[in-house]
Amino acid sequence: MLVVITEEAVLEVLKNVYDPEIPINILDLGLIYGIDIEGSDVHIKMTLTAPHCPMSGVIVKNVKEKIEAMAGVNKAYVELVWDPVWSPHMISKEAMKKPDQK
């Protein structure tokens, strides 16, 4: 059975990935810059809150593992980019209203 991977489904999964140091998911933090789906492969373009984030490896690994656990996904590729530079104004309005998402 062919499973169609949608951007909406990928976004839902990304809502379950958190920066371990910030109680806001990476989607609401504004860290996701792009999603490209090519057949059964998913390419994620994202940033981090700081270039030298000590949790970068954990976050990228978590994104990759959660996307690859989706039905129909063969491989997830995560590209870290630094342009545009992340800033707190990228946090979603919904996340700003919540004192703690976890």
Q: What is the pLDDT of residues 21-77, one digit of tens each?
A: 888 999 999 999 999 999 999 999 999 999 998 999 999 999 999 999 999 999 999
**Residue 32's domain is classified under what CATH number?**
3.30.300.130
DSSP code, position 90: G
Q: Identify whether 98 is part of a domain.
A: no
Helix (H, G, I), strand (E, B) or coil at 33: strand
pLDDT tens for each residue of 12-33: 999 999 988 888 999 999 999 9
Query: Is residue 2 a part of any domain in this protein?
Result: no
Starting at the earlier edge strand, list the strands of the sheet with 75-80.
32-38, 41-46, 75-80
In a domain, 55, yes or no: yes
Q: Which pLDDT does position 99 carry in this prediction?
A: 59
Residue 36 included in any domain: yes
As a whole number of angstroms, the distance between CA 47 and CA 86 comes to: 7
* Res 2: pLDDT: 78
Structural domain includes residue 42: yes
Token digits for 98?
């919540």
Is residue 97, in this structure, part of any structural domain at all? no
**How many distinct structural domains can be found in the chain?**
1
pTM (2 decimals)?
0.90
* Residue among 46, 51, 72, 71 nearest 61 (CA): 46
- Asked whether residue 57 is domain-assigned, the answer is yes
Does some domain include residue 100?
no
- Domain hosting residue 14, numbered range: 7-86
Q: Residue 41 pairs with which residues in a beta bridge?
A: 38, 75
